[in-house]
Structure 1
């Protein structure tokens, strides 16, 4: 869409390339014990290539759970062997629901919830990802947000009563109404937590209300992340 004549090739690797996410504080250790991979020098949000049993794997360290995590991209034909070796060594299978709960505890955005093509990064608490210092750096979308004064922003919510926040629920703050963008029951904290997009000005320490099944339920506005590396922060 934005290539403007640049030489870009897109190749469909389904059925050829596999992908397996190994997430959690022991991710690096279990990959070393099972496959002999030493990833101690691989920094967060970086990737490398490794050799394993005459195969070339791409390995990245971009875990999206608030804990450590490694993603491996081996040939699709090797996925069964790798899965069986990891589970035999103690890795426990889990789905995207578990990952989503952990990324919410870590206060991390989910595309389609906190951010999409219609929500600019200043509203989605992603202002740190863009820079306006270099006037000549004309990144995609700069014209739309340069000089913008967002009327909404993101907050963290912790329910004070029983109930579970879910995406789309209404939120009331002293500054006006907003909407829950992500909500769940936190297994680490034992209470419902959520992220919400509300009018600017709402601050941690203030109170809010969330409409759950026709009832307005009290919630506290808190700083994010809620949990990091297994430690409760709010």
Structure 2
């Protein structure tokens, strides 16, 4: 597959004219696998929270801070320095670009604030409210879920919000001709696959040589050029 040079992105031609947009399957699976891959840090910390928190809810704030920094690094900082790529975008050979002069840190952050951070913040807010209302700590919820059925049920509903949010984004991509998330249209962002192959002058010359007669060359009987017609009209 042809690679995309950074010089191509600096052209003033619109993205859709210069590049092939990534397929919906590539965009969806790359995002899904990015979410799974990015969980390698926060998931083990969450599952072992009761072992290292010692029943202190203050450590939950530390867990939130570590998770936020990791998501920020993976979904914002790395794409900014790696020309719009995450690890799974690189695997699927796609990247995030813009029709504007440069893909900025703010545009990537604004995009991921809606896709990743907003549903995560909603889930965290619900979790904190539940802990305050029921007066329990997170390690107790993990170790004794049967004794805290209502808090656990609310936690599960809050977690399912993230799933429905992602499904809504998938539906949005499927309904959009440019395969954009709804915030991509505002930020003028696209996910591309590779440059379009344009027919250059050398290929045109090769085609004209193929059409030449072996002995007559371009002088084929019965074919009158525009120059010949002008000479005839001048007689």
Under a length normalisation based on structure 1, what TM-score does the superposition of the two structures give?
A: 0.24
**Structure with greater proportional helix content:** 2
Which of the pair has more CA radius of gyration?
2
**Structure with greater proportional strand content:** 1
